[in-house]
Structure 1
Amino acid sequence: MYRFFAFLLFALFCFGNCSEGKKLPDAKMAGGKISGIVAFYNVENLFDTENDPSINDEEFLPGSKQEWTPDRYQVKLAKLVQVLDSVGQGSLPALIGLAEIENEKVLKDLLVKAKAQQTYGIVHYNSPDQRGIDVALLYNKSLFTPVQSEPLKVVFDFDPQMTTRDILYVKGTFKGETLHLLVNHWPSRRDGEKESEPKRLAAAAVARKKLDQIFTANSGAKVVLMGDFNDEPHNNSITKGLQANITPPAAALPNNALYDLMGKLETNGQGSYNHQGDWNMLDQFIVSGALLNAGKGLRLGYDDAHIYDADWIMYTNSNGQKTPNKTYGGTKYYGGYSDHLPVYLYLRQ
């Protein structure tokens, strides 16, 4: 009987602790009190199951080859909430940037699934993307108050007929202090990395133009760019297009300079997306020097950005390599979370 109860206690302990997956880095190691967690997650085609004639959503309907049924949709929502709760250390992160969402309905459904429909707000605009996917921001109403938002259109002068996702700009106050956010999902590498690079450079130019406007108005503005850039920190769209620094500077950056917090992670061989066995650092946080230099108020450290790669959201392939446990591979349903890993950072005050 003693052995039985000992085993039972062990099982309960393991369930309560191991089920949470990977332990997040200790938020107390850097200076400043943690005010909130900011997450970004490309959620891999979060579509509802209803046909929208205005967009190309035919792949994600109950009668499609994907067999995207209401049951599968609800499973997907539950799994995304599980991931986001874990990233937020027991509750949703304070700010959540999302990519590959179909519309505002899926955002509302996600918040209902998280039982956060009363406490979280949504910033979203329908974009002209050919696949019918958008970016969005979810925010904790008690921590963040949007005061201005707009979709930033990305137009390709070399291909005016092609459309892509807007960049979402949101200005708000986080615990009373002004914070600028840009949520990105830049054009993919589907046609080849070099062949498609001009499209990402065009997106970078749109973001850079907005940044210049922000810094002209206030050179000490605190800015966070987040997103799936479909490029890595060392690529031209980041270093030349956005003019972001990717290595820790010897001296303090100017307040209006940009720093890519994922550059160090890329150098260490880490990534948020696995392509044919290689890790790519596509999902990133890029911040203004003002956030890194601040001795008080809203701030963060050079090591405050992380990838959430808990074992339970990973799939181990036949070669023993762990990759993100995705929802689909082509038309094959795996029932996982997403083909990207979420990234997150600590905001301090």
Structure 2
Amino acid sequence: MRSKIIFFSLLVVFLVSCQRDPLKKKATIVFYNLENLFDTIDDPAIDDEEFLPEADKHWNTERYEKKLQDIAQVIAAINTEELPELIGVCEIENQAVLHDLVEEEPLADGNYQIVHIDSPDKRGIDVGLLYRKGEFKVLEEEAILVDPGFETRDILHVFGKLGKDKVHVFVNHWPSRWGGLEKSQPNRIVAAQTLKNKVDEILKDNAKAKIIIIGDMNDEPDNKSLAEVLDAQTPDSKADLYNLMIPLDEQNLGSYNYRGDWNMIDNIVVSASVLHGEGFVANNQLGQVFHQPWMEYHNKSAQMSPNRTYGGPNYYGGISDHFPVFLQLNWNK
């Protein structure tokens, strides 16, 4: 009788511990350019005058709250079974707007925590990472300076545990194409080289390191910065890094529409262990662009593009001028 009681007690302890620490089977990684998510408060330290109530855009609390609600609905719709575990974002003014975002329903149910470090960008637009507490644990975080002589966004590097897996996540927003593709290209090459140096350092220390690179690179997969400098290749090749947006890019699909042409400037790049390793691995070795009809704008010619918030000083009331991209991971061990 005593042995039966002991066995039953041990069984109860085991079942309770399993409930407290279930093995995570799936994970969703998202990147979303939020198109100038600014609050309405003047910050003398940055150039935010464009997004104040008295400016030409007439940015105000009502419009700000609508944008927050819309973004939250988009993120929640990417995986209707469960909120994403990791969400990289760019074009955010500060940490306060991220706090406001994660308090919106239905994101509030995800218990999201924030990693954000102010960058040297003179407009104040930064990158950040949202993660679900309990699903991801931050072990280290750092802002990688791209170029001391150029005021652009840092690269955010977060090392942590996703379930039982250790992963390096890099959130990027490389310099824009302002002034033209060729004239601005050297700036993005510097950003790519900065990232490549850090990735090489990680892989030298651990060839099986899991690395997930997400961001608005302002370049497409076949541009020099990504294809040559970062050396991110097709998922079916043999390389250190793979750009999972290449298959869609080859179908002339994209995350951003410029004057009627689709551009795949929001990219997801992973190391070999994310494709071929154990633990969390990429589902179908493919990144995805997410959009639904309620996120779209259709012009008079029936051409579709992301429904943006502004066009110059004109308020359109849309969500963002980018569609989010995402990656599904499955446990393979």
TM-score of the aligned structures, taking structure 1 as reference length: 0.85
5+ long unaligned stretches in structure 1: 1-32
1:129 corresponds to 2:121: yes
Change (3 A) 1:178 1:262: same
Counterpart of 1:151?
A: 143
What SS does the aligned partner of 1:225 have?
A: strand
2:316 aligns with one of 326, 334, 339: 334
Q: 1:287 aligns with which of 270, 275, 282?
A: 270
User: What is the RMSD of the two structures over their aligned residues, measured on CA atoms?
Assistant: 1.4
Counterpart of 1:288, as a letter, is S
What is residue 139 of structure 1 aligned with on the other side?
131
Whole-Å Cα distance in 2 between the matches of residues 187 and 270 of structure 1?
22
Shift in alpha-carbon separation, 1:117–1:134, aligned structure 2, 3 A: farther
Tell whether 2:151 aligns with 1:179: no
Query: How many angstroms apart in 2 are the aligned matches of 1:264 and 1:221?
Result: 24
- The yes-or-no answer on 1:239 pairing with 2:219 is no
Count of residues in Structure 1 that have an aligned counterpart in Structure 2? 307
Amino acid of the structure 2 residue aligned with 1:216? K
The one-character-per-residue Cα deviations of 1:3-53 (angstroms, maximum 9, x if unpaired) are xxxxxxxxxxxxxxxxxxxxxxxxxxxxxx851111000000000000000
Q: Residues of 1 paired with 2:79 and 2:117: CA distance?
A: 25
Q: Partners in 2 of 1:139 and 1:235 — Cα distance?
A: 30
Checking the alignment, whether the CA contact within 8 Å between 1:248 and 1:302 is kept in structure 2 is no
Structure 2 Cα separation of the partners of residues 223 and 190 of structure 1:
29
**C-alpha distance after superposition, 1:101-137 (max 9, x if no partner):** 0000000000111352871110000001122100000
Paired with 1:335 and 1:324, the residues of 2 have a C-alpha distance of: 12
Distance of 1:231 and 1:302 partners within structure 2: 24
Q: Which residue of 1 aligns with 2:10?
A: none
Which one of the candidate residues 198, 213, 217 is aligned to 1:225? 213
Contact 1:229 1:282 in 2 (8 A): yes
Preserved CA contact (<8 Å) 1:233 1:246: no
The alpha carbon displacement at 1:303 in A equals: 3.6
Deviations 1:211-231 (A, max 9, x none): 011111101001000000000
Whole-angstrom distance in 1 between the partners of 2:110 and 2:327? 24
Cα deviation, 1:119-177, whole Å, max 9, x if unaligned, reads 11100000011221000000011110010000000116xxx2x3000000000000021
Matched, 1:315 2:297: yes
Letter of the 2:51 counterpart: F
SS in 2 for 1:299: strand
Determine the C-alpha separation between the residues in 2 that align with 1:293 and 1:118.
Answer: 29
| Distance of aligned partners of 1:177 and 1:90 in 2 relative to their CA distance in 1, 3 Å threshold | closer
**Preserved CA contact (<8 Å) 1:185 1:228:** yes
Aligned partner of 2:68: which letter? L
1:41, 1:97 within 8 Å by CA — same for their partners in 2? yes
Preserved contact between residue 239 and residue 246 of structure 1 (Cα < 8 Å): no
Q: Which runs of structure 2 are paired with 1:92-131 in the superposition (5 Å)?
A: 92-114=83-105, 116=108, 119-131=111-123
AA aligned to 2:286 is: D
Query: Distance between the aligned counterparts of 1:67 and 1:216, measured in 2?
Result: 51
Q: Does the CA contact (< 8 Å) of 1:245 and 1:258 recur in 2?
A: yes
Which TM-score applies when normalising by structure 2? 0.89
Q: Contact conserved, 1:49 with 1:60, CA < 8 A, in 2?
A: yes
Cα distance between partner residues in 2 of 1:132 and 1:42: 15
Q: Distance in 2 between matches of 1:93 and 1:118?
A: 8
Asked whether the equivalents of residues 30 and 88 of structure 2 are also in contact (C-alpha less than 8 Å), the reply is yes
Quick one: distance in 2 between partners of 1:94 and 1:84? Answer: 11
Cα distance between partner residues in 2 of 1:92 and 1:131: 31
3-state DSSP class of the match of 1:59? helix
Amino acid at match of 1:130: K
Contact 2:247 / 2:286 at 8 angstroms: preserved in 1? no
Aligned partners of 1:270 and 1:348: how far apart in 2? 25
Please give the secondary structure, in 1, of the residue aligned with 2:288: strand
The aligned amino acid for 2:275 is: L
Among candidates 61, 73, 80, match of residue 70 of structure 1: 61
Supply the distance in 2 between the matched residues of 1:103 and 1:83 (Cα, whole angstroms).
20
Amino acid at match of 1:127: S
